[in-house]
Structure 1
Amino acid sequence: MTRAALPFDPIDRGAELWANSYDEVPRMRAITSLMRVHQLVLTELDDLVKPFGLTFARYEVLVLLSFSRTGSLPLGKIGERLQVHATSVTPLVQRLAAAGLIDRTRHPDDGRAVLASLTEKGRRVLQEATDAVVSAKFALGAISENQSDELSSILRNIRLAAGDF
């Protein structure tokens, strides 16, 4: 779906209006821009992986499993590493399993835990989806590699201050 561009920047306009009543205009503009860019990038990433039967969240699960030594992880670890609540992991894993991209098995050492493991089909789909995401420069083609590094550094400071790691 193509959106019609507005004839003005709504974030700049919002900042002007904000300034009439409140302080912290630069931070208000920054957070509003960050949230809007998040929406735009996530939409593009979802569109990129959709032809492979994925959402970006499901794609992230496949990537995480591919990075594990054995190609499998307990569902709790998936949530921990993706920094999402365990209740969010279950539906992702169920959809991936229904599509034949992962297998779910009982953990051999912990009967209560479930392991998610990449299937061969999952590895193929992951590779094809990754090729699409990389070709699209992770939806950040509008900025240079140096700007990407700078953005990562700025955002890292916020994550660090929030106790993210």
Structure 2
Amino acid sequence: MPASAPLPVDPIAEAKRQWLVHGWHDAATGMAAVTSIMRAQQIVLSQVESVLRPFSLSFARFELLRLLGFTRGGELPMSSAVARLQVHPTSVTKTVDRLVRDGMVERAAHPTDGRATMLTLTPRGSEVVEQATAALNAQVFARPTLAGEDLSALVGILARMRRNVGDFRDPDPLPDPL
């Protein structure tokens, strides 16, 4: 969350200076980058959560609802939700529990796999996620604090970082048409 008044000095720049003073030259820029990402994440999450608060949603709950809203028929196996959200199954289970309690998602047995659970978006969940998406689009996503070129560069840099640590891989090229 941003401070009520800007600090007179960038604390991350000061931390980097201290890293250098202490002889940690090889790690100073990496520390500044990691710390900057962490701080930026705190700022963005605070903005997103303030927009979602009137809908009684956390970002995790919004993500799950939005994922279901993007599917055909508003349903998805729980295991697919876990894989796509890239979080621990226990976290998804807790998120689903709250959404079920609030009448936004229903759980049901998978029609063909007795071991699997299906998640289904309810009409209430659909209405809430559409309203929350419109609010996020208007108040956060359409008004980022970076200009177009910087924003595109940031997305590309972070995608390379995620790919380099194995978060995803580039898709195989499509075969040439015959």
TM-score range (shorter-chain normalised) is over 0.9
Name 1:128's counterpart in structure 2: 131
Name 1:15's counterpart in structure 2: 16
- 1:62-95 C-alpha deviation (Å, 9 max, x unpaired): 1111111221111111110010111110010010
Name 2:41's counterpart in structure 1: 38
Q: How many angstroms apart in 2 are the aligned matches of 1:75 and 1:94? A: 12
Q: How many angstroms apart in 1 are the aligned matches of 2:137 and 2:145? A: 14
Q: How many angstroms apart in 2 are the aligned matches of 1:137 and 1:147? A: 16
Out of 58-67 and 142-151, give the one that drifted further.
142-151
- 1:122-148 C-alpha deviation (Å, 9 max, x unpaired): 111011101111112338621123222
Q: How many angstroms apart in 2 are the aligned matches of 1:20 and 1:14? A: 10
Q: How many angstroms apart in 1 are the aligned matches of 2:159 and 2:18? A: 30
Q: Is residue 99 from structure 1 mapped to residue 116 from structure 2 by the alignment?
A: no
TM-score normalised to the size of structure 1? 0.93
Q: Which of structure 1's runs of 4+ aligned residues deviate more than 6 A?
A: none
Larger Rg: 2
TM-aligned CA deviation for residue 98 of structure 1 = 0.9
Name 2:174's counterpart in structure 1: none
Name 2:175's counterpart in structure 1: none
Q: How many angstroms apart in 2 are the aligned matches of 1:4 and 1:115? A: 45
Cα RMSD after superposing both structures: 1.7
- 1:28-79 C-alpha deviation (Å, 9 max, x unpaired): 2111110000111112111111100100110000111111122111111111
TM-aligned CA deviation for residue 162 of structure 1 = 0.6
How many residues align structurally?
A: 165
After TM superposition, the structure 1 = structure 2 runs for residues 146-157 of structure 1, keeping only pairs within 5 Å, are 146-157=149-160
Name 1:3's counterpart in structure 2: 3
Output the amino acid matched with 2:73. Answer: T
Q: How many angstroms apart in 2 are the aligned matches of 1:2 and 1:85? A: 29
TM-score normalised to the size of structure 2? 0.86
Output the amino acid matched with 2:121. Answer: L
Contact 2:105 2:120 in 1 (8 A): yes
Q: How many angstroms apart in 2 are the aligned matches of 1:53 and 1:111? A: 33
